[in-house]
Structure 1
Amino acid sequence: MERETIIEVKDIVKSYKKRKSKEIVHAVKGVSFNVYKGEILGLLGPNGAGKTTTIKTICGLLKQNEGSVYINGQNVQDNRLKALRHISAVLEGNRNLYWRHTVQENMEYFAGNRGRGRKDAQEDIGKLLTQFRLLDKKNELVSSLSRGMQQKLAIAVAMLADSEVILLDEPTLGLDVETGYEVRELLKDIVRDQEKTIIISTHDMPVVQDLCERTVIINEGKVIADEKVSRLIDLFETRAYSIKLGEPLSELQQQAVKHTFPIYQIHDDQLDVTLEQEDDIYELMDILKKEKTRIEKIDRTTVDFEQVFMELVREEEPRHAASTSN
């Protein structure tokens, strides 16, 4: 059964000129992906990869040079107000809030921003404060709350709009383990019980592995992966080996490994390597055989999503370097 698309990003390109040097920066270079109704999507990328520019373009905060963004069938550029009714965003975490006002006052203010009267919004405000365990804090100043409570309030504020899509930038940044777990469970409940779609931008890879069914990874302004998280982990696990050697590799062998396998680690008599293709294992055996290096043990390596992310980004860097040098 084909899933229903709620956001469609089509070939967006965004360049800008640096103020001082006047250098042209190509931040996004033809990014395309879909977001499906009812999923939690991880939108990831290293710093400077074009991820933030993509997010701001989706939210209508930046205008792309080329391409288009559709939210629930509405073109963000042509029908900005209609399109943005379907999405709420928390782009700077607790910095979105008014710290000198109370929890209740923040909720009422942002409800008013969405055109809702104070009386009309009270029932929903009460439900959200209860759901996010903030009801007993409603008369406290935001500045007096813990970082975790501020983060929960920022998400509750986004929920007030009752939009189909919620975009969260670093929702667990700076939280302790217990509060981070609580926020993740709240987000799961929101998707399951209220049929919302959530886009998460984060550097916290365990959050992605726990929450996200699928991830889009952007690097050097392009999409380098658009796949289910479980599929990426399985793919890398089938290619990752840990080899216990009878003696350390020679200098010549180390150079051969470095030249042949972009992703590897050598620790004395231990070699960890990720193959680009399964058949590359035979090339590795040839390198070891040339100097009759003994192999004492070979194991497949268990990987987590943080390793997958780092390896995908590393794999892309040599390609980018080669393309820019030509």
Structure 2
Amino acid sequence: MEEIIEVKNLSKTYKKRKSKETITAVNDISFTVNKGEIVGLLGPNGAGKSTTIKLICGLLIPDSGSVMVNGISMKEKRLSALSHISAVLEGNRNLYWRLTVRENLEYFSGNRGRSSKDVASEIEDLLDAFNLKEKETELVNRLSRGMQQKLAIAVSLLADSKVILLDEPTLGIDVQTGYEIRKILRDVVRDYDRTIIISSHDMGVIQELCDRTVIINNGKVVTDDKVENLLRLFEVRAYTITLGNALSNQQIQLLHQKFPHLDYSHHSLESTLTVNLTKAEEFYDLFEVLKLEHTPVESIDRQLINFEEVFLKIVNGRLHNELDQSS
């Protein structure tokens, strides 16, 4: 696939206020984004994610390393590189609140050097596609947060840039509008031939939308992989088993020897045990213990991991452990 963003050996340090000490916010990070991808750029607070975003957008100058946008150096030809990227910032700072929906679209397209005549039909299409037609004469400060976010994305499309960087696109909006924005973003990639980078704490959005995710922690890239690969890597065979009878003391002891992290509870009507199996063959060990007392099994339910759990495991340093176990 053809690269459209290349971040290479990027570093940035800050001086502490009233001190000679420095803080390394970004430490020699490298990754690429391909045309037509939706990539998640993630990291806990203080990890260096925000600094990375500002470096990609040309808002900060790196101490070392480079950012290339569509083959153009952000450092050497900043204005030319910026023409290929638009940022939709959290808090809807991309919009003028005292202008109407239509006036915002016209104003910001003009800022990019496009005449009102050239963009007239595009504006009409975007108002329809983003369900903003009924609100076109409404002042932005009277719109809901979801409407403002849709307008900000529409504005970014009128800039005709190939890359859109979204900072928290679903923050503070209701569930229905959140689903609508997710659909819009898929359509943006497919119908408008754009590439999207998403920075978000909403792991559901990342899991649903992103092809790949780059996770930054302590100023470094700790993983860069497809979402589906990470989900598969961290998938554990966790089962909750409902039993018809209580386990004997001998069974409980044997199970804890084989499965140290097993959870067992007994109530008057049923008993349950929850166990993580790293290998499918361990099921045989489990049922050998249950057979000792002919303990009836009422049901077996498997627990599925989500991307939020994957993210937490990665930033807490579990990635290498999982790789060792899978090799």
Class of the TM-score when normalised by the shorter of the 2 chains: 0.7 to 0.9
In structure 2, C-alpha distance between the alignment counterparts of 1:102 and 1:215, rounded to whole Å: 36
Paired residues, number: 298
Alignment partner of 1:49 is 2:47: yes
In structure 1, C-alpha distance between the alignment counterparts of 2:317 and 2:101, rounded to whole Å: 46
Which residue of structure 2 lines up, in the alignment, with residue 324 of structure 1? none
Aligned residue among 201, 224, 229 for 2:222: 224
In structure 2, C-alpha distance between the alignment counterparts of 1:103 and 1:35, rounded to whole Å: 31
Aligned residue among 308, 311, 314 for 1:312: 314
Q: How does 1:202-217 map to 2 (within 5 A)?
A: 202-217=200-215
- CA 1:236/1:136 → structure 2, altered by over 3 Å: closer, same or farther? same
Which residue of structure 2 lines up, in the alignment, with residue 151 of structure 1? 149
- CA 1:266/1:221 → structure 2, altered by over 3 Å: closer, same or farther? farther
Aligned residue among 89, 92, 98 for 1:91: 89
- CA 1:243/1:102 → structure 2, altered by over 3 Å: closer, same or farther? closer
Contact 1:236 1:274 in 2 (8 A): no
Which residue of structure 1 lines up, in the alignment, with residue 238 of structure 2? 241
Contact 1:41 1:213 in 2 (8 A): yes
Is the partner of 1:315 in helix, strand or coil? coil
In structure 2, C-alpha distance between the alignment counterparts of 1:317 and 1:208, rounded to whole Å: 18
Q: TM-score, normalised by structure 2?
A: 0.80
Q: Percent identity?
A: 57
**1:219 corresponds to which letter in structure 2?**
N
Contact 2:313 2:319 in 1 (8 A): no
The superposition leaves residues 115-150 of structure 1 with CA deviations (integer Å, 9 ceiling, x where unpaired) of 122333222222211111111211110011111101
Contact 1:93 1:171 in 2 (8 A): no
Which residue of structure 1 lines up, in the alignment, with residue 38 of structure 2? 40
Q: TM-score, normalised by structure 1?
A: 0.81
Is the partner of 1:95 in helix, strand or coil? coil
Contact 1:91 1:169 in 2 (8 A): yes
Which residue of structure 2 lines up, in the alignment, with residue 323 of structure 1? none
Contact 1:87 1:167 in 2 (8 A): yes
- CA 1:73/1:265 → structure 2, altered by over 3 Å: closer, same or farther? farther
Q: How does 1:123-134 map to 2 (within 5 A)?
A: 123-134=121-132
Which residue of structure 2 lines up, in the alignment, with residue 68 of structure 1? 66
The superposition leaves residues 10-54 of structure 1 with CA deviations (integer Å, 9 ceiling, x where unpaired) of 110111012244431111111111100011111111111111111
Contact 2:90 2:169 in 1 (8 A): no
In structure 2, C-alpha distance between the alignment counterparts of 1:179 and 1:50, rounded to whole Å: 29
Larger mean CA deviation between 84-93 and 56-65 belongs to 84-93
Structure 2: give runs of 5+ residues left out of the alignment: 266-271, 290-294, 322-327
**1:302 corresponds to which letter in structure 2?**
L
Contact 1:93 1:154 in 2 (8 A): no
Structure 1: give runs of 5+ residues left out of the alignment: 258-263, 290-294, 320-326
Contact 2:5 2:33 in 1 (8 A): yes
**1:82 corresponds to which letter in structure 2?**
S
**Deviation, structure 1 residue 194:** 1.9
- CA 1:68/1:232 → structure 2, altered by over 3 Å: closer, same or farther? same
Which residue of structure 2 lines up, in the alignment, with residue 136 of structure 1? 134
Alignment partner of 1:122 is 2:120: yes
In structure 1, C-alpha distance between the alignment counterparts of 2:277 and 2:43, rounded to whole Å: 21
Is the partner of 1:184 in helix, strand or coil? helix
- CA 1:96/1:265 → structure 2, altered by over 3 Å: closer, same or farther? farther
Alignment partner of 1:187 is 2:185: yes
Which residue of structure 2 lines up, in the alignment, with residue 100 of structure 1? 98
**1:38 corresponds to which letter in structure 2?**
G
Contact 1:28 1:50 in 2 (8 A): yes
Aligned residue among 110, 114, 124 for 2:108: 110
- CA 1:105/1:125 → structure 2, altered by over 3 Å: closer, same or farther? same
Which of structures 1 and 2 has the bigger CA Rg? Answer: 2
Is the partner of 2:234 in helix, strand or coil? helix
In structure 2, C-alpha distance between the alignment counterparts of 1:170 and 1:195, rounded to whole Å: 21
**2:30 corresponds to which letter in structure 1?**
S
Which residue of structure 2 lines up, in the alignment, with residue 260 of structure 1? none
Contact 2:240 2:303 in 1 (8 A): no
Contact 1:41 1:199 in 2 (8 A): yes
Root-mean-square deviation (Å): 3.3
**Deviation, structure 1 residue 301:** 3.7
**1:88 corresponds to which letter in structure 2?**
S
Which residue of structure 2 lines up, in the alignment, with residue 10 of structure 1? 8
- CA 1:273/1:73 → structure 2, altered by over 3 Å: closer, same or farther? same
In structure 1, C-alpha distance between the alignment counterparts of 2:252 and 2:64, rounded to whole Å: 51
